[in-house]
Amino acid sequence: MREHEVVVDAAGRPSAILYPDVFNVAVPFIDRHLAEGWGGKTAIVFDDTGETVSYGQLAERVNRCGNLLWTLAGESGGRVLLVVKDCPEFFYLFWGAIKAGLVPVPLNTLLRAGDYRHIIEDSGCAGLVYSPEYRGEVAQALAGASHQPTFVLCAEGPDSATGLAGMMDESSAVLAPAPASPDSECFWLYSSGSTGRPKGAVHRQRDIVTTCVRYAADTLGVTGDDVCFSAAKLFFAYGLGNAMTFPLWAGATAVLSGQRPAPEMTFGVMERRRPTLFFGVPTLYAAQLWALDENPAYLDCLASLRCCVSAGEALPADLFRRWRERAGTLILDGIGSTEALHIFISNTAADCRPGTSGRPVPGYEARIVDEAGQPVTPPSSGNDGEVGRLFIRGDSTAVRYWNNPERTAETMTGGGWLNTGDTYYQDADGYYVYCGRSDDMLKVGGIWCSPVEIEGRLIEHPQVLEAAVVGRADADQLIKPEAFVVLKNASDAGDALADELLEHCKTGLARYKYPRWVNFVEDLPKTATGKVQRYRLRSG
Ligand code: 3UK
């Protein structure tokens, strides 16, 4: 098989990615490093056990696992569901499946039996592999499911006949890549969404390469010297790139932890494994700052970082500033999605505007359109552009949802344009500013009002930990903002603080945007991936 080729322009930036007709993406990500003489380099450090895996060991285990999965599945193109925590086996399973011509489907390990059952039935999977931690939910899902996979395997544990390690040992260490093409279907990711059943986004072989060339290498500058640590888990498209495809593409090292990403865990991993790149979500950065205040010794753990990345939800400018002051690094906010596979609009170290998502990653196009699908007025002579719906186009977007032509038509809208479901505008300098999900936006007094902006103002208040804002109809049935606030100290709640927060909003925002109601709550409803579910806060 001929190698892929990244064509660069005169400035050394990627202008095109060329592929041979026959292309299996496991070859450049796994086998290439052996051919280039890097077999001895460390690919994975597993923090839970201290185990390290070299690129040579990785290639051999991917082959063994691919042979095993192929033998068990007995069909080409069969889906293999992975309910697997972050650990080296995740790599063997994901790449082994792809190399053998099967379709890996990493699943959120925080789901419950009912969700797994839906996915087992929806995918018509050939196999399911799970980490022992999730045995209970998986068993319950299988017991009730109308479809039964051909094989079910535990990813860890004693070398018994049902365990992965023992069965891999008995499988051949030689595996020729299954013939595929750059456009053939490669893996799926179920997107959680805040509403409705999860939908399987179908990604092609080339999609992974695109995110690595365009975002990881060109935007973030990941090289073989980097050590990547992601608090976002591998089952999430964000984590899959951060902690697996990006380091593998660059010949770098991935640090994995099977533990829950609380501040203590992330600081501990940083202290032991010295990552250069850290990938988190805004809520975690906020909690880490809080922990740094409590325990300043944590600061030493951050010394190896050259840069941090945030995605999943908008990073408030205040959090960006506090982190830069306290931790001394930038947090590059970028927006990505399961359907786009990774980040497509981003800040960079050289061009960073706090409170915005940055500019389109080179290789992606963005369009902001009105409800009729027409481009909104762009920014001009010092004025912001109009607010509208964000569509993007790029060579990593999912081709369809499995088994769901209606949602496919709504989201993959033709001509390669993906409807992100997000509301954005471009500021006067062209930076893209997130205003909320298209369906979370409020019209207050006839003017678009972003819950995210009000939340950003609320959390600037020193007593506020988290906030969510939704629309609530007032006595005239006009929509006005209502705030749900989590305090750092719940005992501070009271009318005096509520009044103070209103004043804080009125002084910091256009006046019509202040919340008309403030509710103090213990926590906010969130999806399994940590996004606030505003729709659950809306009344009536
Ligand atoms: C929201 C953001 C504002 C936005 C993801 C990086 O989050 C990821 O994928 P999901 O499918 O959700 C996608 C939706 O999340 N969002 C993501 N990033 C930002 N909103 N600022 C941001 N920086 O609504 C988007 O449509 O769970 C993130 C890489 C890969 C991903 N899958």
Answer whether 308 contacts ligand 1 (Cβ < 6 A). Answer: no
Q: Which amino acid is at 204?
A: R
Inside any domain, residue 205: no
Count how many Cα atoms sit within 13 Å of the Cα of residue 334 in the half-sphere of its side chain: 30
Task: Report the pLDDT value the prediction gives residue 194, as an integer from 0 to 100.
Answer: 40
191 vs 129, 281, 333, 416, CA distance in Å?
19, 17, 21, 19
Asked if pLDDT for residue 196 goes beyond 70, the answer is no
Nearest CA to ligand 1 atom 3: 314
Answer whether 392 contacts ligand 1 (Cβ < 6 A). Answer: no
Task: Report the pLDDT value the prediction gives residue 193, as an integer from 0 to 100.
Answer: 47
Asked if pLDDT for residue 448 goes beyond 60, the answer is no
Answer whether 336 contacts ligand 1 (Cβ < 6 A). Answer: yes
pLDDT tens per residue, range 153-173: 999 866 455 689 999 999 999
Contact 432, 358 (CB under 8 A): yes
Q: Which atom of ligand 1 is nearest to 421's Cα?
A: 26
The torsion angles phi and psi of 74, rounded to 5 degrees, stand at 65, 15
**What is the pLDDT averaged over residues 168-195?**
90
Nearest CA to ligand 1 atom 7: 312
pLDDT tens per residue, range 280-319: 988 889 889 999 999 999 999 999 999 999 998 888 898 8
Count how many Cα atoms sit within 13 Å of the Cα of residue 518 in the half-sphere of its side chain: 26
Answer whether 344 contacts ligand 1 (Cβ < 6 A). Answer: no
Site of tokens 């039996």: 113
Answer whether 68 contacts ligand 1 (Cβ < 6 A). Answer: no
Count how many Cα atoms sit within 13 Å of the Cα of residue 103 in the half-sphere of its side chain: 23
Between the CA of 479 and the centroid of ligand 1 the distance, in Å, is 26
Q: Which amino acid is at 188?
A: W
**What is the pLDDT averaged over residues 333-346?**
97
Inside any domain, residue 504: yes
pLDDT tens per residue, range 264-283: 999 999 999 999 999 998 88
Inside any domain, residue 347: no
111-125, 205-219, 430-444, 501-515, range with greatest mean pLDDT: 205-219
3-state secondary structure 266-284: HHHHHHHHCCCEEEECHHH
**Of 144, 129, 126, the residue nearest 77 (C-alpha):** 126
Nearest CA to ligand 1 atom 10: 337
To test ligand 1's pocket by mutation, which of 335, 357, 526 has the most ligand atoms within 8 angstroms of CB?
A: 335
Inside any domain, residue 389: no
Asked if pLDDT for residue 447 goes beyond 90, the answer is no
State pTM to two decimals.
0.87
Residue 299: strand, helix, or coil: helix
Q: What is the CATH number of the domain that holds 489?
A: 3.30.300.30
What is the number of structural domains in the chain? 1
Answer left, alpha or beta for residue 537, where phi above 0 means left and psi between -120 and 50 means alpha.
alpha
Structure tokens at 316: 């408030």
Neighbours of 457 (CB within 10 A): 25
Task: Report the pLDDT value the prediction gives residue 388, as an integer from 0 to 100.
Answer: 95
C-alpha to C-alpha distance for 448 and 521, rounded to whole angstroms: 26
**Of 369, 264, 277, the residue nearest 330 (C-alpha):** 277
Inside any domain, residue 452: yes
Answer whether 278 contacts ligand 1 (Cβ < 6 A). Answer: no
Structural domain that includes position 447? 443-538
Q: Which DSSP helix (H) or strand (E) runs through 390? A: strand 388-393
Asked if pLDDT for residue 439 goes beyond 70, the answer is no
Contact 106, 259 (CB under 8 A): no
Inside any domain, residue 358: no
Neighbours of 508 (CB within 10 A): 16
Inside any domain, residue 469: yes
**Of 404, 219, 209, 430, the residue nearest 311 (C-alpha):** 219
Asked if pLDDT for residue 144 goes beyond 90, the answer is yes
Contact 337, 398 (CB under 8 A): no
Between the CA of 69 and the centroid of ligand 1 the distance, in Å, is 32
Answer whether 101 contacts ligand 1 (Cβ < 6 A). Answer: no
Site of tokens 């060329």: 18
Inside any domain, residue 454: yes
Between the CA of 227 and the centroid of ligand 1 the distance, in Å, is 23
